[in-house]
């Protein structure tokens, strides 16, 4: 069995997910599988200047540039964060509100970003989902590799077309 790597993780939220972000931040800092945690916001009082797209794009950008391996984002539903993070080339983000979805997000789709909804799930479930999600590693020899590769091909082709390359 493959040993779980030590992850570098970005974490962020909007004002609707701030309470969970703080809980999850503490958990990540105490998780032996996590070597580094980067908090991309928000902080109390930032709600007027930073909205979920700002936070999601900052965290997803860190994933895309290789500064972190994964990111955890929290907003009211998790949906806005996932939509925003998925706009960053090379990033696959998903909203998960149950263990099976969190598992399949990595094993079937190689998602590097997990988004959660503070208004949708309880705090203990959110904490459990992050713990579980960090334990999954995508297997590049799995049958899902071809599907993920198709997504990557399209994304790179579409990105090149938009840039005029």
Report, as residue numbers or ranges, the catalytic residues.
Answer: 75
Instruction: Examine residue 119 and say whether the peptide bond preceding it is cis (omega within 30 degrees of 0).
Output: no
What token pair was written down for 66? 């290789």
Cβ atoms of 28 and 9 closer than 8 Å:
yes
Nearest residue to 72 via CA among 120, 145, 128, 122 = 128
What token pair was written down for 58? 């900052």
Q: How many angstroms separate the CA atoms of 111 and 122, rounded?
A: 22
Residue whose structure tokens are 């996932």: 82
Sequence-separated (6 or more) residues with CB below 8 Å from residue 100: none
Q: How many angstroms separate the CA atoms of 40 and 23, rounded?
A: 15
């Amino acid at each position: 069995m493959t040993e779980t790597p030590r992850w570098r993780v970005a974490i962020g939220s909007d004002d609707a997910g701030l309470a969970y972000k703080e809980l999850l931040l503490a958990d990540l800092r105490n998780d032996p599988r996590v070597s580094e945690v980067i908090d991309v916001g928000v902080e109390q009082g930032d709600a007027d200047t930073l909205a979920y797209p700002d936070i999601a794009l900052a965290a997803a950008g860190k994933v895309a540039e290789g500064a972190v391996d994964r990111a955890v984002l929290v907003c009211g539903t998790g949906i806005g964060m996932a939509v925003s993070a998925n706009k960053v080339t090379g990033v696959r983000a998903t909203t998960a509100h149950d263990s099976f979805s969190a598992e399949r997000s990595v094993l079937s789709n190689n998602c590097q970003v997990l988004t959660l909804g503070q208004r949708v799930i309880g705090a203990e479930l959110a904490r459990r989902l992050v713990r579980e999600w960090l334990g999954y590693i995508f297997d590049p020899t799995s049958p899902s590799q071809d599907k993920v590769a198709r997504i990557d091909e399209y994304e790179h082709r579409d990105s090149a077309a938009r840039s005029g390359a």
